[in-house]
Amino acid sequence: MDRISATYLIETPLPVELAAASLAGEQSSGTFIAVPGETEELKQRFAARVEKITLLETVNSPALPGCHSNSGTFQRAELVVSWPVENMGYNLPTLVSTNQGNLYELSQFSGLKLMDLELPPSFAQHFRGPKFGIAGTRQLTGVEGRPLIGTIIKPSIGLTPAQTAELVGTLAEAGIDFIKDDELMADPPHSPFDERVDAVMRVINAHADRTGKKVMYAFNLSDELEPMLRHYEKIVSAGGTAAMVSLNSVGLAGVKKICDLGALAIHGHRNGWGMLNRHPVLGIEFPAYQKLWRLAGVDQIHVNGIGNKFWESNDSVARSIESCLKPLFPDTVATDVSRLKLRESQSGLTSAATTIGGFSVLPVVSSGQWGGQALETYRRTKTVDLLYLAGGGIMAHPDGAAAGVRSLRRWWEAAAEGLTMEQAVAKYPELKKSLEKFGKAV
Amino acid sequence: MDRISATYLIETPLPVELAAASLAGEQSSGTFIAVPGETEELKQRFAARVEKITLLETVNSPALPGCHSNSGTFQRAELVVSWPVENMGYNLPTLVSTNQGNLYELSQFSGLKLMDLELPPSFAQHFRGPKFGIAGTRQLTGVEGRPLIGTIIKPSIGLTPAQTAELVGTLAEAGIDFIKDDELMADPPHSPFDERVDAVMRVINAHADRTGKKVMYAFNLSDELEPMLRHYEKIVSAGGTAAMVSLNSVGLAGVKKICDLGALAIHGHRNGWGMLNRHPVLGIEFPAYQKLWRLAGVDQIHVNGIGNKFWESNDSVARSIESCLKPLFPDTVATDVSRLKLRESQSGLTSAATTIGGFSVLPVVSSGQWGGQALETYRRTKTVDLLYLAGGGIMAHPDGAAAGVRSLRRWWEAAAEGLTMEQAVAKYPELKKSLEKFGKAV
C-alpha cells in the first residue's frame, strides 16, 4: 500500500517517542480515550506510523505557549511519520488536514513545523500538475537561456486601467518579458478587472503584432470563485497568457479549479506566507508548501529574493529556489513521461508539449530586487530558470524603464559569467547607474 | 468613503510611528523606492491610514527572527490601520491579502498579529452571510433552549459506510442532535462519500420517520471543487441537512462557493488553526478570523472547548465564543433587518426565516469534552447557543452512548442552573459516572 510521509521539526516536553505516538494517533485513529470501534485490525490498517526519530538539541524555554515540562527542558527532534494513502485518497485539502490540521494545537508539542512531504508516484496519476511550468512559460514568452525579466505595476493600487495600460506600453517598449498586477490590485471600483484587461491587452497585442514579442501579463483574479471564472474567460478572450492568484487568500480548492482550466499560465503569489513560516518551529517550510501548489497545478511560484526587503535569510531563499527545481516525483521519470504522453495524445498537443509541465514550476524571485542581486542568486543556485521581478528597480532607474530592463538583463549576463560585483561593473560600465541608485551589500 | 479598519498587535525594533507607516505603505501605495506614478493625489485617495497607536510593553528579545534592533529592545504596540473599501472592493481574498498578506514578512516587525477587523455596513449589502446560523440550525434540528448535543464519528478513520451507519443508529437512538465526520474522513477508498451518505441517511431518515427527530449529520466534503459540488448534491438528494468543510484546507474561495449554494447548514472546521494562532505575536486572533468565515457564509464554526485537550487557555476559548455571538455589523441593525426582509421576499421564505441568518454563527465547542466542562463554559459565556460536541465523552460512557447523551444534557441543565460540580453531582447523582470516568479539574 502506498504511503505518504511527512518530516517534522518538533519540540516537546515529553519523551519524544510518546509525543510522536500522540501525533500519529491524533491524525489517524486516536481519540482522547479508547472507543469501542478502535479494533486492532483497524489500527493495523489505518494508523499513522512513526518511521524515524532523530534527536536534536534541548532548550530551556518552549518555543510556543501551552505546554508544561516537568523537567524544565524541551527536546527538539526531527520526526518522520507516514500514512497510508487509503486514509485520505487523492484529496489535497484532506491531505493538508491530515499532515497538518490539529497537530499545531496539541499540548504535547511546544513547537511543530512541517519540513517536507514525500508523495508516492501514484499521485502523478491523479494530478496533472502545472500545465505550463518552466518550459511552457518560456514557450509563451519566447525567452530562452536567461531568466525572464518581469515587473509589478506600481503604485500597487490607485491607477486607472488607462494609466496601467500606459505603463504597460512603456514597459513593453523597454523590452520587458513579464508584468503582473500587485496582489492588492484585483477588481476594485477604480480599476474594474475587465476594463483593465481590455486596456492592457490592447497595448500588449499591438506590441506583439509589431514586434513578435508577446509580453506575459499576470492579471490578479484573486476573488470568489464566480468572478475568478468570469475573469479567467475575459483574459483568454482578450488574448492574455497568464493569471495571478494569491494562493493563501484564495485557498487550495479555488486555486486548483483555476489551474485545471489549463488555458493560462498560473502565477502563484504567496502573500501571507510569513504567517505560515516565519517562526522557526511553527508552520510549514517551503519545500513542503510548494509541493502542494505544484500538485494543484500552479505554474509559477514566489520564492522571495536574495537581499530582499523582507525578513528572510538568503539561505532560506536559495533553498526555496532549489526545492522548486527538484522533480516532484524523482523516482518516477518513466511514469511521468508516459503520463505526459498520455496527456499529449488526449489533448492533441504537438510533441514539443511533452516538455511542458511534468510538475515543473518556475520560481519567481522578487522583493526589493534591482539586478545586483543576480550575482549572488546565480552563485548560490546556478540556475537561470527563474522569473526575476523588479518593481522600483526598473521604474525608478535613473535613465528610465528601458534602461532598467536592459540593466537587469545585463546583471544576469554578468551573473551567468560568474562575475563579482566589481568585475561586473568593470566589464559593463552601464551597471554603475543602477548600483549607485539602488546598491547595497548583497 | 467607507473604510475597513484592522487592529494589530505588533512588535518592532523601530520607532512605532515609523513601523506603522511602513505597514500602511506596503499594503497600499508604497514600494521600496518612490516610483513616478505615486502622486500626492493618488496617495490621498488610496493610502492606508494609521488611525491609532497604543504603546504597550518593551521586550529584550524579538518574538520572531529577521530584524535587528540598534537599541536592543523591541516595542510592542496596538495599531489601528484603515483602508478605503475602494482599494479592494467587496472581495474577501483581496481583503485578506490587504489586511494580512506580506505584512508578516516585513523586517520592520519582529511580531505581528491581526487582532480584529471592523467592516463598514456596506459589506452587509454584498454578502449574505450564514444562510442558517444559530436560528436556522435550531430550526433544522428542532432543538430549542439548550445547546445542541453532538458527537464525532470515532475512530476518525477506518470505518466502512455500514459500520458508520450502525454507529449513527446507536447515536440516534441515544437521542443525539448532531453527528459529524472527523476531518480526517472525507472520501477515502474504504468509505466512499456517496456510499457513506446513503448508508447514514437511510438510518437518519428512518429514525426521523419513526420519531419526528431528524439528526443533523455534517458530512465532510472537504476536497477539490468538483467533488465538493457533487458531494453537496448527494447530501441534498439523500435528505441531509448539513455539510462540513475544513476551512483552512479548502480556503476562502472554495468555502464561499459551498456556502452560497444555500441548501445545507455549513459546519466550519478550523483544523490548521494552531498554525495561524498559537504564537502570541504572529498570525490572527479568532475575533478577526471568524468574521471572514461569517462573511463567507459559514453557519457553525469551531471554537475549541473549556478544559480542552489542546494547548489553548480557557480565557481564549471564552473570548472566541463571545466573538461568535456578537453581531457582525453592530451599528446596522436597521440595514441588516431590511436586508433580511429583502432576502425573505426574494426567497419566498416565511416570516420565521427573518430570524435565520443575519450573519449569526453557531459556536461549536469540542476537544476532549465530556459534559463536566459545561459548568465552566456556561459560567463564563452565559449562553446555550452552542453546538456541544463530545466524542469519547459519549461513546466511552460506562453505561453506553444513550447514557452518554443523557449525561451531557443533564450537565447542561446543571450548568444553566449555575451549579458547581459538587452541587451538580449532588442534585443529579447519575452524573457521578461520567465524572468518575472522565473527570479532572476544569
Q: Which residues, in sequence order, are CB contacts of A430 under 8 Å at separation 6+?
A: A403, A406, A407, A410
The H helix count followed by the E strand count for chain A is 19, 13
Distances (CA, A) of A219 to A131, B100, B245: 18, 20, 29
Q: A290-321 burial, b for 16+ CB within 10 Å, e for fewer?
A: bbbbbbbbbbbbbbbbbbbbbbbebeebbbbb
How buried is residue A64: exposed, middle or buried, by Cβ count under 10 Å (0-12/13-18/19+)? buried
Amino acid at B127: F
**Residues of chain A numbered 66-85 and touching chain B (CB < 8 Å):** 66-67
Give me the pLDDT at residue A229, please.
Answer: 98
Return the C-alpha cell found at A328.
516532484
Domains, chain A, with CATH or none: 3-118 (3.30.70.150), 133-436 (3.20.20.110)
Asked whether A388 and A303 are in contact (CB, 8 A), the reply is: no
Cα A340 from Cα A252, distance rounded (Å): 23
Cα B427 from Cα B425, distance rounded (Å): 5
Instruction: Report the DSSP beta bridge partners of residue A132.
Output: none
Beta strands B216-220 and B242-246: pairing type?
parallel
Give me the pLDDT at residue B288, please.
Answer: 98
Q: Which residue has the cell 470515532?
A: B154
Asked whether B303 and B322 are in contact (CB, 8 A), the reply is: no
Cα B161 from Cα B185, distance rounded (Å): 11
CA proximity to B259, closest of B287, B307, B296: B296
Cα B284 from Cα B384, distance rounded (Å): 26
Asked whether A264 and A289 are in contact (CB, 8 A), the reply is: no
**What distance in Å separates residue A242's CA from the closest CA in chain B?**
18
How many CB atoms neighbour CB B99 within 10 A? 24
Q: What is this structure's pTM?
A: 0.94
Residues A216-229, mean pLDDT to the nearest whole number: 98
Instruction: Look at residue A424 and give its three-state secondary structure.
Output: helix
Cα B131 from Cα B136, distance rounded (Å): 8
Q: Cβ A396–B438 below 8 Å, yes or no? A: no
CA proximity to B89, closest of A405, A173, A406, A184: A184
Give me the pLDDT at residue B346, please.
Answer: 47
What sign does the dihedral B428-B433-B436-B437 (CA atoms) show? negative
**What distance in Å separates residue A315's CA from the closest CA in chain B?**
13
Give me the pLDDT at residue B42, please.
Answer: 87
Cα A387 from Cα A302, distance rounded (Å): 9
Give me the pLDDT at residue A335, please.
Answer: 45
Give me the pLDDT at residue B353, please.
Answer: 34
CA angle (A14 as vertex; A13, A15 as ends), nearest 5? 130
**Residue A380 half-sphere exposure toward CB, CA atoms < 13 A:** 19
Instruction: Establish if A1 touches chain B: CB-CB under 8 angstroms.
Output: no
Return the C-alpha cell found at A316.
532560506
Q: Which residue has the cell 447523582?
A: B429
Q: Which residues, in sequence order, are CB contacts of A178 under 8 Å at separation 6+?
A: A141, A148, A149, A150, A151, A215, A216, A217, A218, A242, A387, A389
**Residues of chain B numbered 207-246 and touching chain A (CB < 8 Å):** 220, 222-228, 246
Cα B391 from Cα B371, distance rounded (Å): 11
On chain A, the residues whose CB falls within 8 A of the CB of B310 are 66, 102, 105-107
What residues in chain B have per-residue pLDDT under 50?
Answer: 334-355, 441-442
Q: What is the DSSP string of A77-124?
A: EEEEEEEEGGGT-S-HHHHHHHHTGGGGGBTT-SEEEEEEEE--TTHH
Instruction: Look at residue A269 and give its three-state secondary structure.
Output: strand
φ/ψ (deg, to 5) at A147? -65, 150
Q: Which residues, in sequence order, are CB contacts of A155 under 8 Å at separation 6+?
A: B29, B30, B31, B35, B37, B38, B42, B46
Q: Which residue has the cell 502506498?
A: A2
Instruction: Establish if A9 touches chain B: CB-CB under 8 angstroms.
Output: no
Closest partner residue to B154 (CB to CB) among A35, A269, A396 is: A35
Give me the pLDDT at residue A44, please.
Answer: 86
φ/ψ (deg, to 5) at A191? -150, 70
State the DSSP code for B352. Answer: G
Instruction: Establish if A96 touches chain B: CB-CB under 8 angstroms.
Output: yes
On chain B, the residues whose CB falls within 8 A of the CB of A320 are none
**What distance in Å separates residue B142's CA from the closest CA in chain A?**
28
Helix (H) or strand (E) holding A56: strand A49-59
CB pairs under 8 A between A and B: 364
Looking at the predicted structure, is the pLDDT value of residue A269 above 90? yes
Helix (H) or strand (E) holding B6: strand B3-12
Return the C-alpha cell found at B45.
485617495
CA A111 to chain centre: 24
Give me the pLDDT at residue A356, please.
Answer: 64
Distances (CA, A) of B251 to A51, B222, B255: 30, 10, 6
**What distance in Å separates residue A6's CA from the closest CA in chain B?**
16
Which residue on chain A is closest to B394 by alpha carbon? A35
Cα A224 from Cα B251, distance rounded (Å): 10
Give me the pLDDT at residue A33, please.
Answer: 64
- Reported confidence tier of residue A349, pLDDT bands at 50, 70, 90: very low
Instruction: Establish if A88 touches chain B: CB-CB under 8 angstroms.
Output: yes
**What distance in Å separates residue B255's CA from the closest CA in chain A?**
8
Instruction: Report the DSSP beta bridge partners of residue A268.
Output: A245, A301
How buried is residue A342: exposed, middle or buried, by Cβ count under 10 Å (0-12/13-18/19+)? exposed
CA angle (B412 as vertex; B408, B418 as ends), nearest 5? 145
Q: Cβ A184–B107 below 8 Å, yes or no? A: no
Cα B416 from Cα B420, distance rounded (Å): 11
Asked whether B321 and B384 are in contact (CB, 8 A), the reply is: no
Asked whether A243 and A266 are in contact (CB, 8 A), the reply is: yes
Give me the pLDDT at residue B396, please.
Answer: 87
Give me the pLDDT at residue B168, please.
Answer: 97
